[in-house]
Chain A
Amino acid sequence: MGDHHHGPAKGLGRWLFTTNHKDIGTMYLWFSFSMFILGGFFAMIIRAELFQPGLQLVEPAFFNQMTTLHGLIMVFGAIMPSFVGLANWLIPMMIGAPDMALPRMNNWSFWILPPTFLLLASTLFMEGGAPAAGWTFYAPLSTTYAGPSVTFFIFSIHVLGLSSIMGSINIIATVMNMRAPGMTYMKMPLFVWTWLITAFLLVAVMPVLAGAVTMMLMDVHFGTSFFSAAGGGDPVLFQHVFWFFGHPEVYIIILPAFGVVSQIIPAFSRKQLFGYDSMVYATASIAFLSFIVWAHHMFTVGMPVAGELFFMYATMLIAVPTGVKVFNWVTTMWRGSLSFETPMLFCIGFLILFTIGGFTGLMLAIAPVDFQYHDTYFVVAHFHYVMVAGAVFSMSAAIYFWLPKWCGRMYNETMGKTHFWISFIGFNIAFFPQHFVGLAGMPRRIPDYALQFADFNMMSSIGAFIYGLSQILFLYNVIATIVAGKPVSDPKVWDGAEGLEWTIPTPAPYHTFETPPAVK
């Protein structure tokens, strides 16, 4: 058996035809980082235009294309694929499996992504420009009133959905069938648990999104009227279908982040995760609740009062399992033996900022008050606290935490910490003032604003530029580590790290766990 060991193939073929979970994970991570830079670049254009009142850089139509593409690329191109990349690298190593269960499909689910995003980005150069109806693309603005690029956009969403569904099926199959002997479900690392639940969410809701865009396609090209009242349809139907996908989608983004934080905080507290069982149950409850709260995004569409009450109560309930998680993380730190390397700093940053985002989420859940918050910058601030400080911070933590394991080289700690502090400060300068302008009455998705919002918008733009620049430092630090970082060979890398991935040699060999380990 040992004779068949071989390393990666040479040249471009290695990457094109690879079925190795580590190679595919690497490609996912690099791809998502490049999308993060692209989506971030669009955000910089948005913030530059909003630096002062008046139109300086771009015209309103182009501004709308920027907000739309920024949202789509960050959600579907940066955050989701980055966690799939992490899952690819880590799930087999965490459950003691040699690879993913469906390696060829794994290759395919990655390789259909780059052409799809190329297609989506190419709409910028089309007549009429890129889609401009927001990342939520409400009909009929996105159908009857959209430019010709909407058809390309619909096709992109279909293919992205395909990729996500394939990736999820792969993860479900791997976790269910390839755990090392002795690793029962309740012994799985929390990252694996959160991904298993996320994968089920994806399989459940991506087809719903596909349904929504298919109905759009029919309305645009084949004379149907799903979303047009003039033909007997209903524009609000679009919102119901979209958010039935969209709400679970935000948990799809945040659950793996919860998993990452649940791995890292115990490692640097040198103490076992507090309340493992309740973490699993809380994750499952959040996933269940995510299916029955969608219309809280639509409190102002004029639902019957009974509907408003139901969605308000159900949404408020989410605070319970989410609270349990936060309490568990804090209690894990309590009476631990803490140290503050970069991954831990990002996790603490996550904990503080995600909790603030959770609080504003609870505020938004209160339907009568939401009438004042809805579609303002308060909402923009809320979901950036959850998405950026939640998903992106935990992703940065994950990279710093596992990168030494992957490449056998240590990142530069000073540079890592600098990255954290610049990110943390820049992020708060960018997004905290957005709560204020939102409460003061500034609607979201506008290219220009009234004079009373000027000061906070300028502050917000400065913060955004700082945050954006800090990511260049991140990129530099990662490349410098891979090329010339200080070599590490200790399998554990971190003295407090626990789990099967820390039992294999550092750097992780191309093939691992060809013989399943025994789990006690």
Chain B
Amino acid sequence: MCFEAKRLLKLALGPVLMLISAVVLGYGPEEAQVNMAPGATEVGERIYDLHMIILWICTVIGLGVFGVMFYSIIYHRKSKGAVAAHFHESTKVEIAWTVVPFLILIGMAVPATSTLLEVYDNDDAELDILVTGYQWKWKYEYINENGENISFFSNLRTPQSEIHNSEPKGEFYLLEVDEPLVIPVNTKVRFLITGNDVIHSWWVPELAVKRDAIPGFINETWTLAREEGVFRGQCAELCGKDHGFMPIVVNVVSKEAYGEWLGAKQVEAAAIKELMAQTFTLEQLVERGEAVYARACLACHGANGEGGVGKPIAGSAIATGDIGAHLDVGINGVPGTAMQAFGGQLNDVDMAAVITYQRNAFGNNMGDMVQPIDVYNHKKG
């Protein structure tokens, strides 16, 4: 029995030890990362070093403790004729193994404190970005002291067909968005993080940033990327049904490329402004509205307006009732429920389009429509 137990022990411990050595050596096959990424920032590197130091200290202590234990297990067995000793206390030893760990902890606390202070140093940022978590997407707003802010939403780009396995999954499955955040390299960027509905958490491992997005409060954190590249992260705080489907993608680009990108965004904003003054046909609105619906409404109200987290739209009293009341729900949401206020999320053209679409799709053949100017007037009261 003993022999068998030992053999089984070896069988069990073999893979475990292999895995442990894999993590401490940072070794692993390329497609399966087994350790924390030092990432693209200095803070991230310091965090990684701290992580490795503590891991090593724990490994050494662990090997010592388990070594003593396995020595006993092997040599102090009854089946080998071991006779139990009678000692059961030793003040000296007990004081030693209280004091020594305490000193080791102080040794750990020193670098931990200095790294933490560094993480909390939000001063001297060159660029401020307001990050707002929504169920289930992120909004980025570039705060500009002397002009109009640039803002946009960043949604999951992976199609439902890949999620439901009817199409092969792409390389960045679930880690791809329609519009990534763009920041310049070698620039201290401060993030002001908040939530619109529930608590989310904005996390990009390689930028060493994770901070909760709390409705009603603004958290501050920062990053300074030292290399260009695309960095991917996810929401880290359970925020409801599609918590697993609101990724973050950050493009770190050269300062010149960032300037160009910003210029293009400003031109785009001006174009939207022009569209807002136009009048559209029903067909134009429905066509635009279908795309907006897929982006903003589908997750809760279903692909065919059948409902889900949200109420059904197909045949609903709101979508087939007074058009002004319908628009009001879209703009201001329904307080106290999961129906958000979309007035700040969609521009007036998209809002007009999606309301019109809802009234003329899923069997709701109302035939009426909302124009951007109606949305504008409704918002003005």
Contact residues of A with B, CB < 8 Å?
Answer: 53-56, 60-61, 64, 132-134, 138, 140-141, 144-145, 228-230, 234-236, 269-278, 300-302, 305, 308-309, 312-313, 316-317, 319-320, 323-324, 326-327, 330-331, 333-340, 348, 351-352, 355-356, 359, 362-363, 366-369, 371-372, 374-376, 417, 421, 424-425, 428-429, 432-433, 435-436, 439-441, 443-452, 455-456
Which of B61, B212, B308 is in CB contact (< 8 Å) with A301? B212
The A-contacting residues of B in range 27-81, CB under 8 angstroms, are 28, 31-37, 46-47, 50-51, 54-55, 58, 61-62, 65-66, 68-69, 72-73, 76-79
How many B residues face the partner with a CB closer than 8 A? 109
Q: List 14 A-B contacts (CB under 8 A).
A: A269-B84, A271-B84, A275-B90, A300-B210, A330-B68, A348-B69, A359-B58, A363-B58, A369-B47, A372-B208, A374-B210, A436-B32, A440-B37, A450-B172
The residues in B between 195 and 247 inclusive whose CB is less than 8 angstroms from any CB of A are 197-199, 201, 203, 205, 208-212, 214-217, 219-220, 233-245
Contact between B69 and A319 (Cβ–Cβ < 8 Å)? Answer: no
Q: Given that A369-B50, A421-B8, A425-B12 are known contacts, is A141 also in contact with B76, CB under 8 Å in the complex?
A: no
| A267-B199 Cα distance, complex, nearest whole Å | 50
Residues of chain B within 8 A (CB-CB) of A433 are: 19
Asked if B88 and A274 make an inter-chain contact with CB atoms under 8 angstroms apart, the answer reads yes
Identify 13 new A-B residue pairs, CB closer than 8 A, beyond the known A272-B86, A372-B36, A441-B205: A54-B164, A60-B241, A145-B240, A276-B89, A305-B116, A335-B87, A338-B73, A339-B78, A351-B69, A352-B69, A368-B112, A368-B119, A440-B35
Are A456 and B32 CB-contacts (below 8 A) given A60-B245, A313-B109? yes
Asked if B37 contacts A455 (CB within 8 A), the reply is no
From known contacts A338-B77, A455-B32, infer whether A309 and B88 are also in contact, taking CB-CB under 8 Å. Answer: no
Binary A-proximity of B361-378 (CB < 8 A = 1, otherwise 0): 000000000000000000
Q: Does B5 contact A (CB under 8 A)?
A: yes
Partner of B212, one of A300, A450, A455: A300
> CA A338 – CA B76 in complex, angstroms?
6
Q: Is A441 touching B237 in the complex (CB atoms < 8 A)?
A: no
Closest A residue to B68 by CB, please name it. Answer: A330
Across the interface, A323 reaches (CB within 8 A) one of B101, B199, B237, namely B101
Chain B residues whose C-beta falls within 8 Å of the C-beta of A275 in the assembled complex: 88-90, 94
Does B251 have its Cβ within 8 Å of any Cβ on chain A?
no
On whether the beta carbons of B50 and A273 are closer than 8 Å, the reply is no
Give chain A residues whose Cβ lies under 8 Å from the Cβ of B215: 140, 228-230, 235
> In the complex, which of the residues B72, B109, B216 contacts A336, with contact meaning CB atoms closer than 8 Å?
B72
| Interface contact B69-A367, CB-CB below 8 Å | no
Considering the complex of A and B, which 10 residue pairs feature the smallest CB-CB distances, nearest first? Answer: A229-B216, A446-B244, A302-B219, A440-B33, A359-B58, A335-B85, A436-B34, A272-B88, A368-B115, A271-B84
A305 / chain B contacts, CB cutoff of 8 Å: 116-117, 120
A448 to chain B: which residues have CB within 8 Å?
Answer: 163, 174, 244-245
Q: Are B97 and A337 in contact (CB under 8 A)?
A: no
Most buried by A among B23, B36, B46, B102: B36
Whole-angstrom distance between the Cβ of B189 and the nearest chain A Cβ: 17
Distance A363 CA – B105 CA, assembled complex (angstroms): 11
Within 8 Å CB of B19, what residues of A? 432-433, 436
Structural contact, B89 and A274, CB atoms closer than 8 A: yes
Please determine whether A443 and B203 come into contact, CB atoms closer than 8 angstroms: yes
**Given A300-B201, A302-B219, A302-B220, CB of A61 within 8 Å of CB of B23:** no
B146 on interface, CB distance cutoff 8 Å: no
Contacts of B209 in A (CB 8 A): 371
**Chain B hits for A421, CB < 8 A:** 8, 12
Q: How far is the CA of A330 from the CA of B73 in the complex (A)?
A: 10
Which of A269, A359, A436 is close to B62, meaning CB atoms less than 8 Å apart? Answer: A359
Residues on A with beta carbons closer than 8 Å to the beta carbon of B47: 368-369, 371-372
Residue of B nearest to A266 (CB): B88
How far apart sit A140 and B338, CA to CA, in the bound complex (Å)? 11
Q: How far is the CA of A375 from the CA of B175 in the complex (A)?
A: 17
Check A417 against B94 for contact (C-beta < 8 Å).
no
- Which residues of chain B have C-beta atoms less than 8 A from A60's C-beta? 241-245
Q: Is the interface of A mostly helix, strand, loop or mixed?
A: helix
Chain B residues 142 to 173 lying within 8 A of chain A, measured CB to CB, are 162-165, 169, 171-173
Tell whether A443 pairs with B108 under 8 Å between CB atoms, given A272-B88, A451-B173.
no
> What residues of chain B lie closer than 8 Å to A368, measured between beta carbons?
46-47, 50, 112, 115-116, 118-119
In the complex, B2 has a CB within 8 A of chain A:
yes
What B residues does A432 contact at CB under 8 A?
Answer: 16, 19
What is the distance, in angstroms, from A64's C-beta to the closest C-beta of chain B?
A: 7
| Contact, CB under 8 Å: A337 / B102 | no
Q: How close is A223's CB to chain B, nearest CB, in angstroms?
A: 9
B236 adjacent to A450 (CB under 8 Å): no
Question: Is there an interface contact between A312 and B83, defined as CB atoms closer than 8 Å?
Answer: no
**Which among B36, B217, B236 is the interface contact of A236 at CB below 8 angstroms?**
B217
* Cβ-defined partner of B112 (8 Å) among A228, A229, A359, A367: A367
Q: Which residues of A contact B85 (CB under 8 A)?
A: 271, 335-336
B84 near A336 with CB under 8 A, answer: yes
Q: Are B240 and A324 in contact (CB under 8 A)?
A: no
Which residues of A have CB within 8 Å of B102?
320
When chains A and B are docked, how far (Å) is the Cα of A455 from the Cα of B32? 7
Interface pair B164/A55, CB less than 8 Å apart: yes
Give bound CA distance, A412 to B231, whole Å. Answer: 55
> Inside 8 A of B11's CB, which chain A residues have their CB?
425
Q: Are B66 and A234 in contact (CB under 8 A)?
A: no
Min CB distance B274 to A, Å, is 35
Residues of B contacting A313 in the complex (Cβ-Cβ under 8 angstroms): 109
Distance in Å: Cβ of A460 to nearest Cβ of chain B: 12
Please state if B239 and A363 are interface contacts (CB–CB under 8 Å): no
Closest residue to A268 on the B side, CB-wise?
B78
Taking the nearest CB of chain B, how far is it from the CB of A371, in angstroms? 5
- Chain B nearest CB: distance from A70 CB in Å? 13
Partner of A312, one of B87, B109, B120: B109
> Contact between A337 and B210 (Cβ–Cβ < 8 Å)?
no
B79–A141 CB distance below 8 A: no
The CA-CA distance from A240 to B283 in the complex, in Å, is 52
Contact indicator B173/A450 (Cβ below 8 Å): yes
- With A316-B105, A323-B97, A448-B163 already in contact, the answer to whether A309 and B113 are too (CB < 8 A) is yes
A328 to B86, CA, bound (A): 14
B309 within 8 A of A: yes
Chain B residue contacts of A134, Cβ below 8 A: 238
Tell me the minimal C-beta distance from B163 to chain A in angstroms: 6
CA distance A340 to B94 in the complex (A): 27
Given contacts A336-B76, A371-B210, contact A327 B199 (CB under 8 A): no
On whether the beta carbons of A54 and B32 are closer than 8 Å, the reply is: no
Chain B residues within 8 Å of A456, by CB? 32
Are the C-beta atoms of B238 and A133 separated by less than 8 Å? yes
Q: Which residue of B lies closest to A54 (CB)?
A: B165
Q: Is B270 an interface residue (CB 8 A)?
A: no
Residues of B within 8 A of A53 (CB): 169, 173-174
Q: Are B236 and A376 in contact (CB under 8 A)?
A: yes
**Complex: how many Å from CA A140 to CA B94?**
47
Task: Give bound CA distance, A144 to B61, whole Å.
Answer: 47
Cα distance A308–B221 when bound, in Å?
A: 14
User: With A55-B165, A308-B116 known to touch, is A424 a contact of B54 (CB < 8 Å)?
Assistant: no
Whether B72 contacts A335 by the Cβ 8 Å rule is yes
Is B278 interfacial (CB-CB < 8 Å)? no
Question: Within the complex, which residue of A317, A333, A443 is in contact with B235, where a contact is CB–CB below 8 Å?
Answer: A443
Give, as a whole number of angstroms, the nearest-CB distance from A326 to chain B.
6
A390 to B216, CA, bound (A): 39
Q: Is the CB of A439 within 8 A of B34?
A: yes
> Which of B97, B238, B239: most chain A CB closer than 10 A?
B238
With A133-B238, A302-B219, A319-B105 given, is the CB distance from A439 to B35 under 8 Å? yes
B82 within 8 A of A: yes
Residue B98 is within 8 A (CB to CB) of chain A in the complex: yes
A54 to B28, CA, bound (A): 24
Q: Are A276 and B88 interface neighbours, CB within 8 A?
A: yes
Question: A439 contacts which chain B residues (CB < 8 A)?
Answer: 23, 33-36
Q: How far is the CB of B187 from chain A (nearest CB, A)?
A: 21
